[in-house]
Structure 1
């Protein structure tokens, strides 16, 4: 199938897959985890943009689930998922390997994340840290995960050339019928996708194709993180916008008014035999 034909098919799939977010229902345990005063104040301040309750509901995360979060970074989602899953479920944090693949800032990510967990064992003593990165794909024992989640990371794997290997790893980790949830900055549809995603944006149809090529079945998308103010033509790509503000104070008020990048949520399922 040519890419042009694929785009048309993907558009039809999106139109018929129930892209609007379903009602969030009521999950008091998840609300309690989000409202936990132990969360980092700067993280909690981003909840209006990141919508953690709606996102985790859409990805079918339940307190009894085995959940793998890929590349947790500073731990925005860790601070919610670890206490939420602590009693009944299992939380794997697939962080950069300890050596960072020889990259200094990734070594620092690992050290800071490890220090965060060690500083609060009451919340984090059951977090299972695994290694993820180029050449490190054992994010959880094969066929054990109910849900694999990744938040704004696909563009990094595209940049480093291992997006396909990453998706194959997630497929191995999931149980048949398990869910893969992808959040990413949504790229423009009037421009071809840069396979290295240098500006941090990824076309939604391109992301769907990558996951389908790994064997996943597309279930549907959500517009919970849509931001129509984002024109996606910024001088430093997505990092021009909050929370990064790569231009510093230059035009800061303008970019603050735009807000965080337009985003998509895509849900896939590993087929059952």
Structure 2
């Protein structure tokens, strides 16, 4: 993958498809061969010696190189990491997009207590100066129009169906409208979340911190996005989809769907 400068576009595309297949990926829509030459920037970001040890320890279950390639992240892009939590993906994205790109790192107040250990080490301003941090409730977000090339929404889509004291209900329709308007035409959205049993209703979001894949697809398509592809690299057939995502029996090992949406 690091030697892509010496290959023609067709060969590079084929190699990337093979690599993602080896990761267990199901690709609907494929990879743009004009992007494939940027894979070396992704490899460099993942391999960086400056990454946190806790992040590197998570790579085995998160397959970041396959994910970032699937969503065609490249130097110079502007990316929104929505409900970024501890910043695992924020840091990788910042390293890939480089000095000519930027990452808007979003959290709401409710996420901060859960991410405090990671954020205590992250030190965005010193370590990742191209990352801009904002704290905002979802219903108060005012995202600039047509400003992002990519939006990452990782393990948080189910929270748009979740509410309890300390976690304000989210106007999902407004949030998705903000996402749609702020994404450039042809831009991509990454949705990764804990899957729930096929046919289950959205109550699983509150009870299990899971959401069946079809609910995410339906909501995104209703907002105007088009499903472009999916990747099976994070699926776990041993997860029965019936335990809370925070249950120690499955924590960190849930079956997760990876969905790629495009703004037409």
So what's the TM-score if we normalise by structure 2? Answer: 0.77
Cα RMSD after superposing both structures: 2.8
* Structure 2 Cα separation of the partners of residues 84 and 25 of structure 1: 13
- List per-residue Cα deviations over 1:111-155 (Å, max 9, x = no partner): 97487335x62x3122122334232212x4211111111110011
Please, which moves more after superposition, 20-29 or 37-46? 20-29
Deviation at 1:107, TM superposition (A): 6.5
CA distance 1:114–1:175, shift in 2 (3 Å): farther
User: What does residue 84 of structure 1 align with?
Assistant: 96
* Structure 1 Cα separation of the partners of residues 93 and 198 of structure 2: 33
How many aligned positions are there? Answer: 230
CA distance 1:107–1:190, shift in 2 (3 Å): closer
Structure 1: which 5+ residue stretches go unaligned?
Answer: 1-16, 246-254
So what's the TM-score if we normalise by structure 1? Answer: 0.74
* Structure 2 Cα separation of the partners of residues 155 and 137 of structure 1: 18
User: What does residue 131 of structure 1 align with?
Assistant: 135
Could you tell me whether the CA contact under 8 Å between 1:226 and 1:263 is conserved in 2?
Answer: yes
- List per-residue Cα deviations over 1:148-205 (Å, max 9, x = no partner): 1111001122103323322221112101221111001111114333274420111111
Partner SS, residue 30 of structure 1: helix
Could you tell me whether the CA contact under 8 Å between 1:238 and 1:261 is conserved in 2?
Answer: yes
Deviation at 1:224, TM superposition (A): 1.4
CA distance 1:66–1:259, shift in 2 (3 Å): closer
Could you tell me whether the CA contact under 8 Å between 1:70 and 1:132 is conserved in 2?
Answer: no
* Structure 2 Cα separation of the partners of residues 36 and 165 of structure 1: 37
Partner SS, residue 218 of structure 1: strand
Structure 2: which 5+ residue stretches go unaligned?
Answer: 1-25, 164-168
* Structure 1 Cα separation of the partners of residues 30 and 88 of structure 2: 22
Partner SS, residue 186 of structure 2: strand
